[in-house]
Each structure stands twice: as C-alpha cells, then as structure tokens.
Structure 1
Amino acid sequence: MGFPSPAADYAVQTFTIASLHGYDGNCRTIETSAGYAIINVARKPEVGDTILISFCGSLDFAKVQGKALITQDGEAIEGDALDDATVMGVITHLLNRVTDTDDRPVI
C-alpha cells in the first residue's frame, strides 16, 4: 500500500510488436517473401493505402487509386474485375527480414 517506487521511472521497458506498432485484436501478421506484413482487418481502405487482396486464387499487395487497385507489377484491377478481388486488410507495417541470402552487410 505504500508509495510507488522511484526506481520504476528508470526501469527498462520491453519493446514488443504490440507496443511499437499498435498491434491489437484487429491486426494479423502475414508472412511474405521479404518478411512480414501487419494488416488491420477492421480499417476501411482509403485512396493511397496499400492493401492485401486475394485475387485469382493468390494473395497480392495493391494500392488503392480512386476506383481501381494497382498491383505490385503495375496492373490495374478495375470495373468488373474488382468483383473477383477480396480485400483482406490494410497494410499498417512491413517488417523486413534482417538476415538474407545475399552477402549484403546489415548494420
């Protein structure tokens, strides 16, 4: 019941994905070839957002541009083709792998 310890002000905080990126119950982590993508399934996509879509049986990233989706390879999904695309969530963060098969140094 006493008073709070002044040492608590100097305690080291443990950093987690949840504390750094606002990871909550609406977020999912998807493994990609470059690392991990954190998506928010509750957030409504807006123009300029990058989203994860399911299109033609595969997952892909796309950018929302007006009434079209622009995929990573530059293809536009618009009009009736949008009926075949399912938005999985809005990308909030991308976590790249530190280790890679290349001989590039990592600092």
Structure 2
Amino acid sequence: MVDYKEYTVVFKALSDETRLKIVEMLSCNEMCACDILDYFQISQSTLSYHMKILTECNLICSRKDGSWVKYSLNDQVAKKIKIFWEDLTSGKDDCICNEVINKNKCK
C-alpha cells in the first residue's frame, strides 16, 4: 500500500513556480545560494523560505561552505518521486480505479 501522505509534502513544495525553477537549477549541479539569489533577484529571506520548504521534504540537500550554503538535488528522493508518479499514472492490478470498478459491479 502506498503512503500518499509521504508524497503530498513534496508535491506541495513543488506547487510554487520559484521552487520548481530551483529544483530545475539544482538538477544540473550543486549551486551556491548566492547564485540562486542572483538568478531570481529575490531577498535572502525569501530564498531561505523556499529552501526551507524544499529541504524539509528532503527534495534538496544543503551544506555550509564558508559563509555560504550550497544546495543540491537529493537524487534518491527525486528518483523515488519519479517512480511514484509513474506508478500513480499507470494502470496496474492494485490501482484504486480497480477498487472503484469492482465496488460498482456489486450494485
């Protein structure tokens, strides 16, 4: 049985255009917060807010490098989300749609 709650946090994090762009940026390579700031022309506090949401759902990782923080995509979580999405959008034997169809046949 799939734990849908586990994925809702990630999809909520991805429901923002800026955060989607940040994930795309990090898909290429690790990036310093300063470079992300320059691209978006947003305040440090706004970037921190977005990064907090992305790190809390484990989609991105962070590490200190001197006075800056470097961010990277958590490849394991990204792969897990891809597999979940593929399973979610593909018909299979244990799909919820089969439960609904079987329930309606009983009437």
Higher Cα Rg, which structure: 1
The two structures have a TM-score, normalised by structure 1, of: 0.21
Structure with higher helix content = 2
Q: What is the TM-score of this pair, normalised by structure 2? A: 0.21
Larger strand share, 1 or 2: 1
